[in-house]
Chain A
Amino acid sequence: GNSVTQMEGPVTLSEEAFLTINCTYTATGYPSLFWYVQYPGEGLQLLLKATKADDKGSNKGFEATYRKETTSFHLEKGSVQVSDSAVYFCALATGGGNKLTFGTGTQLKVEL
């Protein structure tokens, strides 16, 4: 079956630090990969996605590259801000459908 493993949190960083949140996956077939973010008091929002190997998804300064050889989709940002504090979820979908398999989420806290 499908599964997503992402690094345990919480992750605490200082503003302007470099961020990496690791995500690896196991999937039947050829998945599409996603990062969702949940800001405090809000619903899940799609942050970025990639649908094929070597694709790079990017949004709001965040990037993630679909690495088929390592089955990974690590999230990175060069300089985090306090406003990036949120819970980040890695997810996948297979078969072209919209049924998502999520990781456990990684809470990020950015301090001044």
Chain B
Amino acid sequence: EAGVTQFPSHSVIEKGQTVTLRCDPISGHDNLYWYRRVMGKEIKFLLHFVKESKQDESGMPNNRFLAERTGGTYSTLKVQPAELEDSGVYFCASSLGGHTGNTIYFGEGSWLTVV
């Protein structure tokens, strides 16, 4: 069974450009999460989808970030325009249910460098 896959694995863009990160969750997982780790700091929650609906987007830093999950399958996270402080690792995760008893499976992360 395929795990959570993320694309691209690495991206280097200039300040002001746009980047779109993609996440394919484990098949059948209704719950999809985005997290971010800025260099040397803790991994922070960005948002949580249940199917195609945003259950909790309290961690989204500002309106330059847009997350979508069309059809409740894969998800994209767009940063437009990118700023230097957006550099970091963006993790996607999925789980079957939304409760603590359901194991969350993480992808390998998308490394974003804004120069």
Of chain B, the residue at the smallest CB distance from A91 is B43
* A71 on the B face (CB < 8 A): no
Question: Which residue of B3, B42, B99 contacts A43 across the interface (Cβ within 8 Å)?
Answer: B3
* B69 on the A face (CB < 8 A): no
Q: Number of B interface residues, CB 8 Å?
A: 28
Q: A105-B42, A105-B43 are in contact. Are A98 and B33 (CB under 8 A)?
A: yes
CB distance from A35 to the nearest CB of B (A): 13
Query: Quick check: B103 and A100 within 8 Å, CB to CB?
Result: no
Q: 0/1 per residue, A80-107, Cβ < 8 Å to B?
A: 0000000001010100111111111100
Query: Quick check: B95 and A45 within 8 Å, CB to CB?
Result: no
Question: Could you tell me which A residues sit within 8 Å of B by CB distance?
Answer: 4, 32, 36, 41-46, 51, 89, 91, 93, 96-105
Query: Quick check: A98 and B41 within 8 Å, CB to CB?
Result: no
CB distance from A107 to the nearest CB of B (A): 11
Which of B13-21, B76-84, B106-114 makes up part of the contact surface? B106-114
Q: Which of chain A's residues have a CB closer than 8 A to the CB of B99?
A: 96-98
Query: Quick check: B43 and A32 within 8 Å, CB to CB?
Result: no
Q: Which of chain B's residues have a CB closer than 8 A to the CB of A98?
A: 31, 33, 48, 95, 98-100, 102, 104
